[in-house]
Amino acid sequence: MADQSSGQKVWRVGVAGLGTVGGGLLSFLAECPDFAPAGGRAVVTGICARSRSRARTVDTAAMTWFDDPVALAKSPDNDIFVELIGGSDGPAKAAVEAALALGKPVVTANKALIATHGAELAKLAEANGAPLLFEAAVMGGTPAVKILRESLVGEDVVSVSGILNGTCNYILTEMETKGSSFADVLAEAQRLGYAEADPSTDVGGFDAAHKITILAALAFGGAPNFAAAEIEGVDQVELEDIKLAHDLGYRIRLVASAVREGSGVAVRVHPALAPFGHPLAETRGALNALFIEGRRIGRIFIQGPGAGAGPTAAAVAADIADVMTLAKRPVFQSPASTLVPEPAISAADRISRVFIRLKVKDQPGVIAAVSETLAEAGVSIDGFLQKPSQGEGAVPIVLTTHATAESVVLEAVERIARLPAMLERPKLLRIARV
């Protein structure tokens, strides 16, 4: 549609979901009316949210209200549909499908939707000639999606790994700096509005897994395969782990990684130790960070905000700009009709260095028995630390190993768990490979 006064093309935008990111987008477009990457203008004409009566930071009087996101997606009164509802299924998926089926460009920040249904949505988008863009789904305002899909399309990427959940990184950083428990830090983060009321998606590692699944598809040219991701969250990380890792020169981070190994891809999320001075160890608070490793280009490291109204709205706006400039690319790296999931690689074959935390009885021969068990399995100890007895004869011990097949270490740890001097189940954390 052309603006009568200026003759400029006006792109009419329908926005479903007016939470942090949707509110941020409305503010962005209100503050930057000249946002005109292709000489046209973007104007929000229709909105939809859970609560119509909630106060908004932007005057929405000129925007048409929709109770139903699918009706907004189908409305002929908008040219671009922006989905900021969230959730892998339900109204978000139905609305995105409705827009794409009509050939309407879709911009979304919904990582769960793309990680779970990305391949089928890409087919629908490409069959109908509609862009489906999701820069804001991964690392919020820090570019990652376009870097892999566009800037590195000529590169042979071998791994992507990093910190993709700000809530978990904030919790781990606060536990370390304040010496507080996981539960106390989480409660404080919720009080301050940093963590969701239901934090399970973040602390359970699922949010980071959605994001690394998307990056894996973009990096390796396959279809997103969320079902194959191996996921551990930060909810099992205790203050004792953080303190003892610190004593050995490490910080604990929730690391998401996707690595091409032979004919397949290993996608996983788990707490991991990064040595002091390493960029992941030095990524603090709610920041995100990502390493991309390519055969020709070597290593790239990016770090920045992974959430927040302003940064994430800027990423949504960048996708709107792609629609306005008529940028045309496959949704992932290759045409959707050719996308298949990469074969998943079993964790048992992976080679890792690990950190093992034990609580043992303070009696002769215990350390000898532990090191003998490891030696029999062919696991070589790299670092070792024994703390003074904590009363009642309980002694904390931590050790780090040299690189070994994970299946071998896990078996050795099972044998250690059965030693009579063990007071608790051994705790095992991996050391980051990047």
Binding site for ligand HSE (CB under 6 A): 165-167, 202, 207, 306-307
Contact 373, 354 (CB under 8 A): no
Distance CA 317, CA 150 (A): 17
Which of 109, 421 has the CB closer to ligand HSE? 109
Instruction: Give 280: exposed, middle or buried? Use CB within 10 Å, 0-12, 13-18, 19+.
Output: buried
Q: Which of 74, 93, 211, 359 is catalytic?
A: 211
Tell the smallest beta-carbon distance from residue 314 to ligand HSE (Å). Answer: 14
Instruction: Give 23: exposed, middle or buried? Use CB within 10 Å, 0-12, 13-18, 19+.
Output: buried
Q: Is 211 a catalytic residue?
A: yes
Q: Which residues of 51-68 are buried (b: 16+ CB within 10 A; e: fewer)?
A: eeeeeeebebeebeebee
Tell the smallest beta-carbon distance from residue 114 to ligand HSE (Å). Answer: 12
Helix (H) or strand (E) holding 316: helix 309-324
Tell the smallest beta-carbon distance from residue 234 to ligand HSE (Å). Answer: 11
Contact 124, 99 (CB under 8 A): no
Contact 292, 147 (CB under 8 A): yes
Tell the smallest beta-carbon distance from residue 207 to ligand HSE (Å). Answer: 5
Contact 347, 268 (CB under 8 A): yes
Tell the smallest beta-carbon distance from residue 124 to ligand HSE (Å). Answer: 24
In this structure, the strands spanning 230-231 and 157-163 are unpaired
Distance CA 142, CA 332 (A): 18
Q: Which residues of 200-217 are buried (b: 16+ CB within 10 A; e: fewer)?
A: ebbbbbbbbbbbbbbbbb
Contact 85, 91 (CB under 8 A): yes
Tell the smallest beta-carbon distance from residue 166 to ligand HSE (Å). Answer: 4
Which of 303, 404 has the CB closer to ligand HSE? 303
Amino acid letter, 108: T
Which of 176, 202 has the CB closer to ligand HSE? 202
Distance CA 432, CA 275 (A): 9
Task: Match 């690391």 to its residue by tokens.
Answer: 255
Report residue 423 as tokens: 């007071």
Which residue in 276, 275, 278, 280 sits closest to 290, CA to CA? 280
Distance CA 194, CA 313 (A): 17
Amino acid letter, 91: P
Which of 207, 342 has the CB closer to ligand HSE? 207
Which of 171, 397 has the CB closer to ligand HSE? 171
CA distances from 78 to 129, 199, 238, 283 (A): 17, 34, 50, 40
Which of 172, 356 has the CB closer to ligand HSE? 172
Instruction: Give 33: exposed, middle or buried? Use CB within 10 Å, 0-12, 13-18, 19+.
Output: exposed
Which of 200, 390 has the CB closer to ligand HSE? 200
Which of 126, 176 has the CB closer to ligand HSE? 176
Tell the smallest beta-carbon distance from residue 307 to ligand HSE (Å). Answer: 4
Amino acid letter, 98: A
Tell the smallest beta-carbon distance from residue 261 to ligand HSE (Å). Answer: 27
Q: List, by residue number, the catalytic residues.
A: 211
